[in-house]
Structure 1
Amino acid sequence: MYFDLTDEQRAIGEELSKLLRDRLPPDGVVSTFDKGDLDDALWQSLNEMGLGAMMVPVESGGLGLGLLTLAVVADALGEHGATVPVINNALAGWLVSTFGTGAQRTAWLESLQSGEIVAAFALAEPGGGWQPEEWQATGFPFTGTKTNVEWGQQASLFIVGMAGGALGLVDGRDPGIRRAMISPLDRTRPLAAIDFDQVRVDLLTRDVEAGGLLRDAFLVLLAADARGAADRALSLAVGYAKERTQFDRPIGAFQGLKHQMANAAAELEPCRPLVWYAAHAWDEIPDRRSYMAALAKAHVTDMAVRTARLAVEMHGGIGYTWEYPLHVFLKRAMFDRQAMGLPAAQRVRAAALAGW
């Protein structure tokens, strides 16, 4: 079986990477991380590329592409530490265009695609509860709390996980919304706790499959993001090993460090096709979708954190400094590992789906 990206997918990834390299040089990554807020100029440029419309059908004004292409985008965003809610808006656009009513599409779709508004997914509940079967939110109007809401402070639209795996839309202007910033490990993905007090929920869908599809899409995209972050961390380590000298030799020439870098590369490289296949399964192979999403999230995020930590060790003291960009990519990989459930939980789920 031959499996690879299409020419179009490669072109999107290359063009995006070029833009991100230009906009986020190493010192720019650190300063953006320090700010911990939306990178407005980059956000505008990425929306001009049409990334928010990526998974919206052509007949609804979108690009009609699948999760595999969005995974290529997520990989590039992770590799460059971009502080933009591209993934949120792309998934929100897909949900509204696929499951929304005519009125919901009219109200939200164009603004999501253009980046005029930011969407946030209010899924996790205090004490955990990332998975659709764990959501407890009920009531129309709705009162309750959602935590670890990525881009919750900036959001104009909340997509709320409801009991039974349903999804609802909440207008960010509702007076019953209270937002409290959470200090995040990864400042490129700002978090908030959101208290909803008698807010109006516009039911998007009661289809349990929609909640599961969303969960699996997030798992794949978190894996893609983590792989990109780890790849950048390893690249920084390799570059440093070529430049730093000890005893008049580059430290990369020493066998102990050389073997560590080779082993890290050998472990990380297979993660790329694993993410690609998981995204392809989400697009094309429904029977494999959930299993591959859980497996990819578990394995890739574990490998990503391991690789990024090793990259810090390879740098010695400079790797731990705030001014050096390496910590941004380690923290990004660590965020991806924790979000939507830790690898152990994903492995348990994958085993159950496989009938073990």
Structure 2
Amino acid sequence: MEFLLSEEQLEIQDTVKRFLDKHCPSTALHSYFDDPAQLPEAIWQGLVEMGVPALIVPEAFGGMGMTLLDLAIIAEVLGQAAAPNPLLGHTLATQALIYAGSPAQQEKWLPKLASGECLASFATAESGNWLAPSLSCVNGNITGQKQHVPHAEHAQLIVVALAGGRYALIEQGATGLEISAENVADRTRPLASLNLNDCPAELLDGDCGNAAEPILNTALVLLAADSFGGAAQCVDMAVDYAKTREQFGQPIGKFQALKHQLANMAVDVEPMRGLYWHAAYAFDQEPETASRQAALAKAHLSDRFLHVARETVQAHGGIGYTWECDAQIFIKRALFNYTFMGNAGLHRKRAADLADW
């Protein structure tokens, strides 16, 4: 049994990492925090040119037909760089069309999503509830509200989750669609609320009955992968700072208390990698266990990322709390990963229920 990534997968990761090193330095991150309304155009176009949005799209629709694990290892690198990007919402909309779209709808939209010609997003949360949408589509129109929709203001297409496991397509500029930006901590991934007032929509006409779980599992795996990348970067940041920051005439990394803190952070992070790999593998190869593995990965990795990000701020001392320090960017990304699509407690309960405890 192979427990490591293939050479091709490692090359994919390395290619994306080199791109982000060039186009997403610390200064760029801070510029997005200063102006969160801007779309990370250069980063998104770079990901498009590398074929990232096309990875899991079937070859018949202009994609590469690769696995969720292939996409998850890219999400890890994006998390490591805290890269501002709309990939999460775009991927969930893509999965909705793959699992719930009719052949005609797939033929119309999937090539555009794979090529990046059309940016899409996904709307599911209602009144803080991520898992049980209550909106319905009556006579082709939707009335109600959705919250926490990623990059909604820039998306040309939004897939809206409806009651009963159904999904609908709403195009940007549709009558009765109002988009309001939300005030969020993680400014690299802006969220918005949708106010739908008799808004015309197109129901997805495929086999919607089996779509909800794969879409949710995709979100949980990608958030887990992003969390691992972010947590690993936090450890590196804290160690680098401990080597260079001096106090009482020596680097603070020589102090025993900080040594133990850094060691505990590293021990927390390294086992996280296999958990999200396993969840992505289960999605691709063991669908009967995929939901539980995705729930466990999201719950544990987002929880540990938040803990390690807090430890990173503490390791930096007073400067770790300031706007100018990179540590504040990662703790806010950790807060996003922890809460988006449900917190750790919710998914630990789901994992227990799925195991028939």
Instruction: Tell me the TM-score normalised to structure 1 length.
Output: 0.96
Matched with 1:287 is 288
Per-residue deviation, residues 122-173 of structure 1 (Å, max 9, x unmatched): 10012x2211xx1101123111110111111111111111111122211122
Secondary structure of 1:295's partner?
Answer: helix
Q: Aligned partners of 1:107, 1:263: CA distance in 2, in Å? A: 50
Matched with 1:330 is 331
**2:224 aligned partner, one-letter code:** A
Deviation at 1:82, TM superposition (A): 1.3
Deviation at 1:110, TM superposition (A): 2.4
Secondary structure of 1:299's partner?
Answer: helix
Deviation at 1:32, TM superposition (A): 2.0
Alignment of 1:1-356 (within 5 A): 1-36=1-36, 37-126=38-127, 128-131=128-131, 134-139=132-137, 140-204=140-204, 205=206, 207-356=208-357
**1:203 aligned partner, one-letter code:** L
Secondary structure of 1:193's partner?
Answer: strand
Instruction: Tell me the TM-score normalised to structure 2 length.
Output: 0.95
| Equivalent pair of 1:165/1:207 in contact (CA under 8 Å) | yes
| Equivalent pair of 1:67/1:283 in contact (CA under 8 Å) | yes
| Equivalent pair of 1:90/1:113 in contact (CA under 8 Å) | no
Secondary structure of 1:56's partner?
Answer: coil
Q: Aligned partners of 2:92, 2:197: CA distance in 1, in Å? A: 26
How much identity, in percent, do the aligned residues show? 42
Q: Aligned partners of 2:345, 2:289: CA distance in 1, in Å? A: 19
| Equivalent pair of 1:39/1:83 in contact (CA under 8 Å) | yes
Runs of 4+ deviating beyond 4 Å: none
Unmatched segments (≥5 aa) in structure 1 = none
| Equivalent pair of 1:170/1:202 in contact (CA under 8 Å) | yes
Secondary structure of 1:222's partner?
Answer: helix
Q: Aligned partners of 1:200, 1:101: CA distance in 2, in Å? A: 18
Per-residue deviation, residues 84-138 of structure 1 (Å, max 9, x unmatched): 1123323433432444223322432222122222211110012x2211xx11011
Q: Aligned partners of 2:63, 2:182: CA distance in 1, in Å? A: 33
Per-residue deviation, residues 295-325 of structure 1 (Å, max 9, x unmatched): 0111111100000100000000111110111
Deviating more after overlay: 55-64 vs 336-345? 55-64
Secondary structure of 1:355's partner?
Answer: coil
Distance 1:99 1:165, change over 3 A: closer
Per-residue deviation, residues 222-258 of structure 1 (Å, max 9, x unmatched): 1111111121122111100000111222111111101
Unmatched segments (≥5 aa) in structure 2 = none
Secondary structure of 1:198's partner?
Answer: strand
Q: Aligned partners of 1:84, 1:116: CA distance in 2, in Å? A: 15
| Equivalent pair of 1:81/1:188 in contact (CA under 8 Å) | yes
| Equivalent pair of 1:145/1:195 in contact (CA under 8 Å) | yes
**2:280 aligned partner, one-letter code:** A
**1:337 aligned partner, one-letter code:** Y
Q: Aligned partners of 2:107, 2:208: CA distance in 1, in Å? A: 21
| Equivalent pair of 1:233/1:307 in contact (CA under 8 Å) | yes
Q: Aligned partners of 1:344, 1:26: CA distance in 2, in Å? A: 32
Q: Aligned partners of 2:101, 2:6: CA distance in 1, in Å? A: 30
Deviation at 1:288, TM superposition (A): 0.8
**1:233 aligned partner, one-letter code:** C
**2:259 aligned partner, one-letter code:** K
Deviation at 1:33, TM superposition (A): 2.3
Q: Aligned partners of 2:210, 2:106: CA distance in 1, in Å? A: 20
* Count of residue pairs the alignment pairs up: 353
